[in-house]
Amino acid sequence: MVNRVKTGAVIGLNAYEVWVETDVINSLPAFSIVGLPDTAITEARDRVKSAIKNSGYTFPSRKLVVNLAPADLKKAGSAFDLPIAVGILIEEEVLTQDQTQDYAFVGELSLDGIIRPATGVLPLVLGLKESGIKNVIVPYQNAKEAGLIEGINVYGAKHLVDVVGHFTENRIPKTEVDARKYLQESRDEDYPFDFKDVKGQKKAKKALEIAAAGGHNVLMIGSPGSGKTLMAKCFPSILPPLELEEALELTKIYSVSGLLKEDEPLVTKRSFRSVHHTASANGIIGGGSNPKPGEITLAHRGVLFLDEMVEFPRQVLEVLRQPLEDGEISISRALHSVKYPAKFILLGAMNPCPCGYFGDKEKDCSCSDFQISRYLSRLSGPLLDRIDLQIDVPRLTPTELINYNKEEETSETIRKRVVKARKIQVERYKNDGILTNSELTSKLIKKYCQVDEQSKQILKAAAIKFQLSGRRYDRVLKLARTIADLNESENITAIHLTQALQYKMFNIEEYGK
């Protein structure tokens, strides 16, 4: 008789219901697994057999066939060990089909029957719930993560014996986690870097405040020692706290990537991913035979920081163009393609030339015009078109640095203004499916970024002078919308628009003058 046990498979961030079918055939002892399993699942034959025997149960002495249905869906990972073991225990009459029919099982088995944690449990349990599953048994270490999902009973098991006991004598306690309460209690506003420690750079700080408020991309250009990297490290301290929807979305990503901590079932802080310039294109956008999230997805709803941005290979930078525009990345493979969200703030820092001192007030540049031009050309026009704020970050002179005694504004003070602006945006776009001004589409720009006649004339003059592309034109309006929100203004005025236009495209001919 064929027995069936429910589990699931995760492809990208989407989960699909999978049936583990087991059948014992009158033939010489053998154990085969079919249904497009990967190497980790194929190796489950030895893990499951040892786990069952070492847990005190018998293993079939005839040929055992396990089918993972649907057979045309690629299965990957070791989380199929537990459902396979449960199916075999049903064959051996340790458990019955009636006992397990309302349950799904997830987990890897060690040789002695201990259930090890798995990756992607949160999206998997969410998918199982949507397919009608009422109960799920997961590894004990993943129980809190799975318990974030409402509407499904989650049980965390430590050993195969615990799973059997759940249906026979000792039920496993149900795990429930109030996600909203956990998020509120776990918010940590103690940041290692604070803007109060950054001397001067008023314009750069204002630009970063605008970027944080509207989710805009920033490029900082300046000499070595001007404070670009320090301000980038301070940037997370002014970002608003995660909303529950954002936290759950980010937790799904980190769960699939295997980066979720056991004692932190929910990601409670916006991510700040600092990438070295030796990173590959696949490392940034994601990839692999079973595509995994890259740095742009791990930075979702947070920050991707590229220090020394022009040192990245041009082909690596160019792969950022599509996700910066669409807010997602599609990775195609022969058998399937997956989509990962990638709504991140790109924060770049670079020197203006190879020696770093072009335009510096204190030190002369030793580079030729050709060297400077070739250096800056590594950033293409289409990529720069997608960066809303491009700012000059000049060094303080030694005298200014030594004699500087002004008390700077703290990150907490800046963050309060950012949070207030974000709340305005959340309320405004509650029926539009977006959270920030940077996500506005052309249709929504026409609706929410109306300007008066004076502002139209300013825009017209700017479009001619700076040769603004259609994309850049829209981004100026979105930037002005954010500046207006920071000033708690319902309408975009000429002042807001003029300020937005100050952050025009970087022009080498004007830089340093």
Question: How far, in Å, CA of 108 to CA of 50, rounded?
Answer: 13
For residue 70, whether the previous peptide bond is cis, meaning omega lies within 30 degrees of 0, is: yes
| pLDDT computed for residue 396 by the predictor | 80
The confidence band for 120, taking pLDDT boundaries of 50, 70 and 90, is very high
pLDDT above 60: residue 201? yes
Residue with more model confidence, 455 or 48? 48
pLDDT above 70: residue 27? yes
Q: What is the mean pLDDT of residues 3-22?
A: 93
Which DSSP category does 340 fall into? E
For the segment 33-45, what is each residue's pLDDT rounded down to a tens digit?
A: 999 999 999 999 9
Point out the least confidently predicted range of 244-253, 299-308, 363-372, 391-400: 391-400
pLDDT above 50: residue 292? yes
How far is the first Cα of the chain from the last one, in angstroms, to the nearest whole number? 83
**Could you identify the residue written with the tokens 């970024």?**
449
pLDDT above 90: residue 50? yes
Q: Which of 246-255, 324-333, 469-478 has the highest mean pLDDT?
A: 246-255
Residue with more model confidence, 12 or 6? 6
The confidence band for 335, taking pLDDT boundaries of 50, 70 and 90, is low
Number of Cβ within 10 Å of residue 474's Cβ equals: 17
The confidence band for 334, taking pLDDT boundaries of 50, 70 and 90, is low
Amino acid at residue number 492: I
pLDDT above 50: residue 512? no
Residue 189: half-sphere exposure toward Cβ, Cα within 13 Å: 12
Question: How far, in Å, CA of 473 to CA of 451, rounded?
Answer: 13
pLDDT above 70: residue 119? yes
For the entire predicted model, the pTM comes to 0.89
Structure tokens given for 92:
């051996």
pLDDT above 50: residue 425? yes
The confidence band for 508, taking pLDDT boundaries of 50, 70 and 90, is very low
Residue 305: strand, helix, or coil: strand
Q: What is the mean pLDDT of residues 403-410?
A: 79
pLDDT above 80: residue 187? no
Point out the least confidently predicted range of 20-24, 60-64, 157-161, 384-388: 384-388
The confidence band for 513, taking pLDDT boundaries of 50, 70 and 90, is very low
Q: Parallel, antiparallel, or unpaired for β 345-350 and 218-221?
A: parallel
Q: Which residues contact 447 (CB under 8 A, 6 or more apart)?
A: none
Q: What is the mean pLDDT of residues 318-339?
A: 86
Strand partners, 304: 273, 346
pLDDT above 90: residue 163? yes
